[in-house]
Amino acid sequence: MEHLSGERILITGATGQVGGPVATALAPDNDVVAIARFGDAAARDRLETAGVTCVPVDFEAADFDALAGDFDVVLHFAVAKTNDFDRDLRANVEALGFLMDRCASARAFLHCSSTAVYEPDGHHRFVETDPLGDNHRAFGFMPTYSISKIAAEAMARYGARAHNLPTTIARLSVPYGDTFGWPLFHWHMLSRGHAVPVHADAPSEYNPIHLDDIVGQIPALLGAASVPATIVNWAGDDVVSIEEWCAFLAERTGSPAAQFAPTENTIASVACDVTKRLAITGPCTVGWKDGLARMAAALSA
């Protein structure tokens, strides 16, 4: 894999489950500046201990005056999920436009989107040109999320062209690591004997991607940035169902076999075709079984 070194990097959302580990992984070899509200003092301390420069910014206000100097690359992971449409469109869409204005001189901009932008379509393997739609609100789950992500992609596309700013829009699938992710949530449900909700149109299929590969693929995704923006599914190589990964985890919790609660009121399958991402980054280095075994071992330690 490629490696970033000697770059001045701006990271948003660095107190989040994905942005934080990315910031700390890149800090040893780069000048990493993270912006967030930093309401969690412990999270800020962890970042600064790792060598990350933390600059408090209210993303909803889109006030970036506290930032000094230019940046070589921008990694945009920040996302607002207040479930208030006005606030979330302001923070996720308007603020992104102002951020691209501020960082127009960067050599590359990575906007982290989501596979939640796709119109539900059963067990179809989504490619980047497939129809977009709201796959969250119908289930009462983060009702602003899909629409905010679609609108933010439109803003990122505009920003790339308006500023001639090479941009990659990476639609992240199910991210996970030893300490976060949807499979971790299911681990806790299984260990307590709870049935895991799955969509009635079984199996519930996704492409989980391990933190190691998220970090490792960033240089290649930046290298693929272009005008107009490059759009790519940032998803793991393997299509895996919730039913499969829960059965795998149940064996490691010492719990009875995984139990499921089929329902129409949950997110349907969002399995992706990763042909385009493979051409950009090459294959993932962590298979889903290896990644979940590592997570289980960390939880059991």
Q: Do the domain assignments include residue 131?
A: yes
pLDDT score of 1: 52
Token duo for residue 196? 């895991």
Alpha-carbon distance of 96 to 260, in angstroms, equals 39
208: domain CATH number is 3.40.50.720
pLDDT score of 270: 95
Q: Do the domain assignments include residue 90?
A: yes
Q: Which residue range(s) make up the domain with 66?
A: 8-300
Q: With contact defined as beta carbons under 8 Å apart, do 261 and 195 qualify?
A: yes
Q: Do the domain assignments include residue 253?
A: yes
This prediction has a pTM of: 0.96
Q: Do the domain assignments include residue 275?
A: yes
Alpha-carbon distance of 214 to 128, in angstroms, equals 18
The string of DSSP letters for 198-218 reads: EESSSS-EE-EEEHHHHHHHH
Give pLDDT < 70 ranges for the chain.
1, 138-140
Q: Do the domain assignments include residue 3?
A: no
Q: Do the domain assignments include residue 26?
A: yes
For residue 203, cis peptide bond before it (omega within 30 degrees of 0): yes
How many C-beta neighbours within 10 Å does residue 285 have? 14
Q: Do the domain assignments include residue 2?
A: no
Total count of domains within the chain:
1
